[in-house]
Amino acid sequence: MLRTTLLTLGLICTGLPAAAQSQDPIQQILANFDQIDSNGDGVISRAEYLDLQAARWPQIDRNGDGYLTEDDFPRFAANRARRQLAEASYLDANGDGRISQSEFVNGPAPVFRNADSNADGFLTRSEVQAAAS
Ligand SMILES: [Ca+2]
Ligand SMILES: [Ca+2]
Ligand SMILES: [Ca+2]
């Protein structure tokens, strides 16, 4: 469950159709592998993954106050917002009840860690494919 939280949060906040929201985050990495691999060396480094997280932040912090809180979700989605935020609470490193940009971008990256099966800090295409299957 944890591994899906980061990308799910972003998709919920962008208001994409339900079908797109349910897409597995690792499938999205696989589909965008070449764009995420910005230096084109054929592997996704942790730094390239962090760049991806940083690029997604504006869609997550919708009201632009620098923190992810319930206020960033549509009012009608308050219950879902609380659930999502509870699942993402592991990102709240300083325990102040909200997730800052730096906590989000630099925090634990379970999607990356789970896919990096040899734990060398790089995702190869075959590691991503294995995680996606
Ligand atoms: Ca790369
Ligand atoms: Ca916010
Ligand atoms: Ca915090």
Beta-strand relationship, 99-100 and 43-45: unpaired
User: Measured in angstroms, how far is the CA atom of residue 81 from the centroid of ligand 3?
Assistant: 16
Q: What is the pLDDT of residue 76?
A: 92
For range 6-12, the mean pLDDT? 48
Query: Residue 119: helix, strand or coil by DSSP?
Result: coil
Residue 12 has pLDDT above 50, yes or no: no
Q: How confident is the model at residue 19 (pLDDT cuts 50, 70, 90)?
A: very low
For range 11-23, the mean pLDDT? 44
Q: How confident is the model at residue 44 (pLDDT cuts 50, 70, 90)?
A: very high
> Residue 42 CA: which ligand is closest?
1
User: Measured in angstroms, how far is the CA atom of residue 70 from the centroid of ligand 2?
Assistant: 8
CB 6 within 8 A of CB 109: yes
pTM: 0.71
Distance CA 25, CA 5 (A): 9
Which domains are seen in the chain, by residue range? 2-132 (1.10.238)
Secondary-structure breakdown of the chain: helix, strand, coil percentages, each rounded to the nearest 5: 60, 10, 30
CB 101 within 8 A of CB 56: no
Distance CA 128, CA 133 (A): 9
The environment of the single-atom ion ligand 1, i.e. residues with CB closer than 5 A, is 37, 39, 41
Tokens of 40: 């084109």
For range 69-90, the mean pLDDT? 92
> Residue 47 CA: which ligand is closest?
1
Distance CA 109, CA 49 (A): 9
